[in-house]
Every structure is written in structure tokens, then in C-alpha cells.
Amino acid sequence: MTTQPAQTVSDGELFIDGKWVPSASGATVDIVNPATETAICKVAWGDASDLDRAVQAARRAFDQGPWPTLPAKERARIMFRIADGIEAAGEELALRETLDVGKPISFTRGFDVRAAAEIFRYYAGMVEMLEGAARPAGARSLQYIRREPLGVVGAITPFNFPLNLAVNKIAPALAAGNTIVHKPADQTPLTALKLAEIMAEAGLPEGVHNVVLGDGATVGSALVEHPGVDKISFTGSTATGKRLIAAASATLKKVTVELGGKGANIVFADADLDAAAQAAFQAGFFNTGQFCMSGSRLLVHRSVHDELVAKLTAILDVIPVGDPLAEATVLGPLAHRAQLDKVLEYVAIGTAEGATLAYGGEPGHEGPGFYHRPVVFTGATADMRIAQEEIFGPVLTVIPFDTDDEAVEIANGTPYGLAAGLHTRDLKRAHNVAGRLEAGIVWVNTWAAFENSTSFGGYKASGFGRELGPEGIEEYLQYKTIYVNVD
Ligand code: NAD
């Protein structure tokens, strides 16, 4: 693996009420490049008092306007300009995301930045379509329904898709007329800061969008507990989500939680095995396995098990793992040290549980950087920890099955229910099995295919609420019935 030269970006501050400000305490932290373990820049590190200033700014911007009361076409115009601004700053956004998260640059350019601009356009186009409804009433009365914004939205995002997951919340929340306080992930806040600059330059009024950096236990908790916040939109782990739901109940906030996953990717005996192996690679290792919708359990019909595993490991043999700034790289490092430690821990757990290391098992890297090459466990049973618990790294657990019913039972046999997939040439089987899988999204003969209209979200311990698509904007609207007596 090559080692990239030290790359930096400008230091960052908090963005509150349309201004860049230091934290009240003056605290800063270094943001670390996971490929080199060197500092990329310093950022201001907020606390509850910074968060309070941001909430007050967002509150004023909502209560006094003009954002929620702007004509729809004006709101849409600003959002279209934000999309243009994201594209114009695409190279810088891609570089920030690559340096911060360790994602390959071809991917941050080709997916993260492109999708962020497209999602803004998708919801900008929806602003003028937010119709209400009229309902039957007496001859001398009128009944109609308005769809109104919720108020101040607190957006809390994880480290693995910093730009995209922020935009999944910010774009529909703004389209619906809300104002926002965003708390990005502790480890990867750099694109959130650039996005704030782009949004301000596009003409978003002061206070409508605020960014407070800081750790989850301090700034995240303060956002969840703040009485001036109407809704929390959270993406992160199931453990944090549970704590957050309990904390939000004190002020009866509306909450949506997009949580962890342990997706099952099922390969039936009649599948196109070359295509299924490619999909299994995407499902297991996309974003170095740091993907909530990963198919980290590969369920394979016993009759094609060995052939499929051989095809998959042949792909792994030639996949470029290394410097995320190199154009050819497909898998970069883990995003931070704790993720690498977690991968090492689960490799040891799987081995101790008696699964077979069919591929990899060592980091395969010396020198700086949180790299770990792909790992494939075979001979696993559905009750093992490597088959039940979210690892969030490049570790795939392969489980054989004999019947369709058994595949469905294993697939549904974890607490999670985010994503699932299946590979078959049999149309009836595809629809029948897809209907039985407990997951918010099911892919047939593919994995991780997305359109802006592809809404996703959890069943079971993977959370509730949906992002993207028309469902995504519903999470930021409330309905008001107005009954008018005209007698
Ligand atoms: P995490 O739960 O550790 O942190 C997520 C965010 O919550 C961070 O910004 C963190 O600072 C904040 N936070 C931490 N404690 C908090 C508290 N007490 N109150 C409020 N906020 C708090 O998750 P992570 O490690 O950053 O991300 C990985 C997890 O996210 C995985 O479980 C993954 O599956 C999940 N994820 C889910 C989706 C989805 O759409 N369902 C998408 C991406 C990631």
C-alpha cells in the first residue's frame, strides 16, 4: 500500500446563526486522517452552551421566519442553488470526505457528492408539490388539511456517510419549512462544515441551518434534551438510538431513528453465481463494510456454497485495497481506530466460536493507517456472535442453508431488520421470499442499488422512520385539520 503525503484542509469553527464562531470554551480537537493517522485540521469543539445558542438561532429563524413562510418557489430556488453549489464545490467536498473517512476518492466523487446534489434537487422539486387536502363536511362547512413543518429539527449523524446522511435529513427538513441544528459525527465533521458554507452562499437565511461539533454525550445529548427542539432525526447505532429515544421522551419530541443492521444476502441454487458473487462482494465489503445496509451475512444454498465462496474470494484476490486518494482504490481503511479494534476483536471472536477463516484474518498492512483486508468466515451457524452482531467492518459471515423456509428463518433471525437481498432466476420465489423478509429494503439480484426515490429505514431494532423518497419528507411534516363553519 502506498502512503499518501500529508494533506490538510483549513481549520473549522461552529456555524451558528449564519456566522462562523469558535466554541464558547475555546476548545478545539484534531481531526485525524484514517489512512495516515496524521491531523488533517483542527475544529472548534462545542458544548451545551454552544448548542443552546444554535437552538435559539434556529428557533428564531423558525418562529420569526422567513423560512417557513417563504413562498414555496422561493424555498425551492434556494435549494436548487444549494445543489449547484455542492456540484461546484465537488472536488473539495470529495477530498474532505476521503481524508476524513478514508473512502476512495473515486467513490466520494462518484457517489457521495453526486448524490448529495441530486437529493437536494429531488426535495427542491417537491417543495411546490406539498399539497394539502379537502375532506367531506356538511353543506355549510368546510374541512381542509394543511401540512405544516414541525419547527426546529435536530439532526444527528454517524461517521460512515457524513455528507449523504446529513443531506438525507437536511434537504427534506428544509423543503418542508423547518430549521435545523446539525450535530455531525465526532470523527468525521469536515463535509458538514463545507456544506454549511455552500448553503449560506446559496442564500439560506441566517439561523435556518446551524452546525455544532462536539461529542455525542455532550452536544448530542444537549440537542436531544433541549426544550426548544421539536424533532430529532438520528442515524447511528442501535445502542445510542435506545438511549436517545429514552432521553427524548422527557420533552415528548418526535423522533426518527435509523439504526444498525445485520443484513442477510441469500443466494439460491438457481442464481447467476457470477453476478451473485459480485453482489456478495458489494454487500459485504462496500465502504470497507462500514455500511448500515451491508449484507454481512451471506446465506448460500448448500449445493452452490463452495462454488460461490470460490468466486467471491477470487474477486477479493484482485480488489485494490489501499490509499483512498489513489484513483484505482476500491477499499480504503476503517474510518477510525475504534472500528479497526472492533474488526480485530470480531475476527478473534469468530475464530474462538469455531467458524473457519476461509479468507483473510490478518490486517494485511504495516505502518500507519487503520487498514484491514477483507475477511470471510465459513462454517458459521446462525447463532454465533459473528452472525448476530453488527461488526461494521470488512468481515463477512457465510451460512449454508437447504430449503427456502430455512433461508427465511435464518435471515429473519436477528434483532435487526434494515436491508436484505436475494439472488434467484425464479420470479415466483423472488417475490415470495422478498415479501417474507423482515427488512425495510430488499434487493433482488443486486445490492445497494439506489435512486433518490428509494426510501429506506428499519424494521425491528433497525429503527423507525424512512429516509429518501416521498416518505422521507413526511418525517418533517405534521397535519392540521381546519374545520370551518360557514353557516
Ligand atoms: P453512534 O451511535 O456511535 O453515533 C452516531 C451519532 O450519535 C454521532 O454523531 C454521535 O456523536 C451521536 N451520539 C452519541 N451518543 C449520543 C447521545 N447520548 N445522545 C445524542 N447523540 C449521541 O454511531 P456511529 O458509530 O457513528 O455509526 C455507526 C452506526 O450507525 C452503525 O450501527 C450503523 O449501522 C449505523 N448507521 C445506520 C444507518 C441507517 O440508515 N440505518 C446509516 C448509517 C449508519
Instruction: Supply the DSSP symbol for 12.
Output: B
The torsion region of residue 284 among left (phi > 0), alpha (psi -120 to 50) and beta comes to alpha
Q: Are 9 and 89 in contact (CB under 8 A)?
A: no
Find the 286 Cα to ligand 1 centroid distance in Å: 18
Helix (H, G, I), strand (E, B) or coil at 9: coil
Mutate to test the pocket of ligand 1, among 237, 340, 441 (most ligand atoms within 8 A of CB): 237
- The single residue of 13, 389, 438, 467 carrying the catalytic annotation is 467
What are the pLDDT tens digits along the chain (487 aa)? 444 556 778 999 999 999 999 999 999 999 999 999 999 999 999 999 999 999 999 999 999 999 999 999 999 999 999 999 999 999 999 999 999 999 999 999 999 999 999 999 999 999 999 999 999 898 899 999 999 999 999 999 999 999 999 999 999 999 999 999 999 999 999 999 999 999 999 999 999 999 999 999 999 999 999 999 999 999 999 999 999 999 999 999 999 999 999 999 999 999 999 999 999 999 999 999 999 999 999 999 999 999 999 999 999 999 999 999 999 999 999 999 999 999 999 999 999 999 999 999 999 988 899 999 999 999 999 999 999 999 999 999 999 999 999 999 999 999 999 999 999 999 999 999 999 999 999 999 999 999 999 999 999 999 999 999 999 999 999 999 999 999 8
Q: How far is the CA of 40 from the centre of ligand 1 (A)?
A: 22
Find the catalytic residue in 97, 194, 292, 460. 292
Distance 31 CA to ligand 1 centre (A): 18
Pairing of strands 209-211, 179-183: parallel
Is residue 395 within 8 Å of 350, Cβ to Cβ?
yes
- Exactly one of 13, 41, 169, 225 is catalytic; name it: 169
Instruction: Using the structure block, give the residue that is written with the C-alpha cell 493507517.
Output: 369
Residue pair 51/222 in contact (Cβ under 8 Å)? The answer is yes
| Whether residue 5 has a cis bond before it, omega within 30° of 0 | no
Domain with CATH 3.40.605.10 in the chain: 14-259+463-482
Atom 18 (ligand 1): residue with closest C-alpha? Answer: 217
- CA separation, residue 280 to residues 265, 274, 372, 429 (Å): 7, 10, 18, 19
Q: Taking CB atoms and a 6 Å cutoff, what residues make up the pocket around ligand 1?
A: 156-161, 165, 183, 185-186, 215-217, 220-221, 224, 235-237, 240, 243-244, 258-261, 292, 390, 392, 418, 458, 462-463
Return the residue whose CA atom lies nearest to atom 43 of ligand 1.
292
> Of the residues 258, 389, 438, 475, which is catalytic?
258
**For ligand 1, atom 26: residue with the closest CA:** 158
Atom of ligand 1 at shortest distance to CA of 456?
A: 40
- Residue 128: active-site member: no
Name residues whose C-beta falls within 8 Å of residue 300's C-beta, 6 or more positions apart in sequence. 266, 267, 308, 309, 398, 399, 400, 401
Domain 264-451 has CATH 3.40.309.10: yes
d(CA 426, CA 252): 47
Rounded CA separation 173/233 (Å): 10
Q: Which of 235, 242, 293 to mutate to test the pocket of ligand 1 (most atoms within 8 A of CB)?
A: 235
Which atom of ligand 1 is closest in space to residue 292's alpha carbon? 34
How many Å lie between the centroid of ligand 1 and the Cα of residue 158? 4
Going from the C-alpha of 140 to that of each of 27, 143, 486, the distances in angstroms are 63, 10, 5
Active-site annotation holds for 41: no
Ligand 1 atom 6: residue of nearest CA: 158
For the domain 14-259+463-482, what is the CATH code?
A: 3.40.605.10
CATH 3.40.309.10 residue spans of the chain = 264-451
Q: How far is the CA of 236 from the centre of ligand 1 (A)?
A: 2
467 is catalytic: yes
Catalytic residue at 451? Answer: no
Q: What is the CB neighbour count within 10 angstroms for residue 404?
A: 18
